[in-house]
Amino acid sequence: MDNIIDRIKELKKEKDAVILAHYYVDGEVKELADYIGDSYYLSEVAVTVPQKTIILCGVKFMGESAKILNSGKKVIMANAASDCPMAHMADVDKIEEIRKQYKDIAVVCYINSTAEIKEHADVCVTSSNALKIVKALPQKNIYFIPDENLGRYIKSLVPEKNFILGDGFCHVHTSIKREDIEKARQIHPNAKVLAHPECTMDVLEIADYIGSTSGIIDYASKNESEEFIICTEMGILYELKKNNPNKKFYSVGHRQFCPNMKLIKVEDVLNALENSDNEIILDDALILKCNDALAKMLVLAK
């Protein structure tokens, strides 16, 4: 393993490459990364890094977003099979149908979506900035796609707007059940419940804090409590334990595991650097159209 890691470091310099990783990937892959973060942070960093090549350790929509925001750079997926099923759970015909029904509508697209869907959106959002962006939009009607759970959560916080929700979902987060949290709370009565907004509303109702992966890590590190029940993918336990060695973190159930993120291995990072396999290639016209929605997100989220 040491040889592989040394070779990755050499190749990074040789190829002027930077490694970006999402919190959900394996700890040994995150150890190689120059930047680790939530979806919003990764898209922001992709714009500011000086290197010519970005190796993306995450799912495909993250690589596509990095490419759209930096069309001059080479963006290479560490593992081409790493895709997020929710990214495909919206329909372009349905977007056009909704646009015809409402004059005053904004199509708000969660970043967990394919480039083909982003092309038809007015603005992108992530779980860390969706509330701020939806509130800032002048339109009264919001078509929120693909994630129904995140959309419903934002709707509950912005009652002055009319929401039409897509029907996408994340199988990892929707597998977290309220009963499991209630059981965990009985065992750990002092623990705070921290949940990602992709969880279902009955879970969010009993959470002490709701936020993105970065938000959850930040909250747990700053909060005076010593125990936390974590309702998101278990990859973030790595940062939570590393940053807070004296605190205790419990995950609920055994299904908080994103099989797509976990496909990425250290050998894939080496292969991406050696062979430039799995480069994200998008049509120039598509990049231009998607860039409107993603760049608007970066501006409105500031």
The reply on whether position 113 binds ligand 13P by CB under 6 A is no
Give which of ligand 13P, ligand SF4, none residue 213 binds (C-beta under 5 to 8 Å, depending on kind): ligand 13P
Write out the DSSP string of the chain. -HHHHHHHHHHHHHTTEEEEEETTS-HHHHTT-SEEE-HHHHHHHHHH---SEEEEES-HHHHHHHHHHTTTSEEEES-TT---GGGG---HHHHHHHHHH-SSEEEEEESSS-HHHHTT-SEEE-TTTHHHHHHH-S-SEEEEESBHHHHHHHHHH-TTSEEEE--B--HHHHT--HHHHHHHHHHSTTPEEEE-TTS-HHHHTT-SEE--HHHHHHHHHHSS-SEEEEES-GGGHHHHHHH-TTSEEEE-SS----TTGGG--HHHHHHHHHH-TTB----HHHHHHHHHHHHHHHHHH-
Half-sphere exposure of 112 (CA within 13 A, CB side): 29
Smaller CB separation from ligand 13P, 198 or 268 = 198
User: Who contacts 250 (Cβ-Cβ below 8 Å, separation ≥6)?
Assistant: 184, 188, 191, 227, 228, 229, 230
**Judged by CB under 6 A, does residue 256 bind ligand 13P?**
no
Considering the complex, state which of residue 68 and residue 84 has its C-beta at the smaller distance from ligand SF4. Answer: 84
Cβ pair 50, 4 in contact under 8 A: no
Region near ligand 13P per CB under 6 A, out of 33-41, 74-82, 94-102, 130-138:
33-41
Residue placing its CB nearer to ligand 13P in the complex, 53 or 127 = 127
CA angle 14, 19, 20 (to 5 degrees): 160
Query: CB of residue 207 vs ligand SF4: minimum separation in angstroms?
Result: 17
Interaction of residue 180 with ligand 13P, rule CB under 6 A: no
Among ligand SF4, ligand 13P, none, what binds residue 260 when CB lies within 5 to 8 Å by partner kind?
A: ligand SF4
Our CB check for ligand SF4 shows the closer of 176 and 273 to be 176
Q: Which is nearer to ligand 13P, 191 or 258 (CB)?
A: 258
Among 148, 198, 239, 268, binds ligand 13P (CB under 6 A): 198
Whichever of 126 and 139 has its CB closer to ligand 13P, that residue is 126
| Nearer to ligand SF4 among residue 12 and residue 30 (C-beta) | 30
- The pairing of strands 162-165 and 209-210 is unpaired
Q: Give yes or no for residue 82 binding ligand 13P (CB under 6 A).
A: no
153-172 positions binding ligand 13P, by CB under 6 A? 170
Q: Which of 39, 65, 70, 129 binds ligand 13P (CB under 6 A)?
A: 39
- Give the one residue of 113, 127, 129, 149 binding ligand 13P; rule: CB under 6 A: 127
Q: Least CB distance from residue 225 to ligand SF4, whole Å?
A: 25
Question: Does 114 sit near ligand 13P (CB under 6 A)?
Answer: no
Residues that bind ligand SF4 (CB under 6 A): 59, 84-86, 112, 170, 172, 198, 233, 258, 260-261
**Are 84 and 64 spatial neighbours (Cβ–Cβ below 8 Å)?**
no
Q: Which is nearer to ligand SF4, 64 or 198 (CB)?
A: 198
- 139, interface contact from ligand SF4, ligand 13P, none, CB < 5-8 Å by kind: none
Chain positions contacting ligand 13P, by CB under 6 A: 38-40, 112, 126-127, 170, 196, 198, 212-213
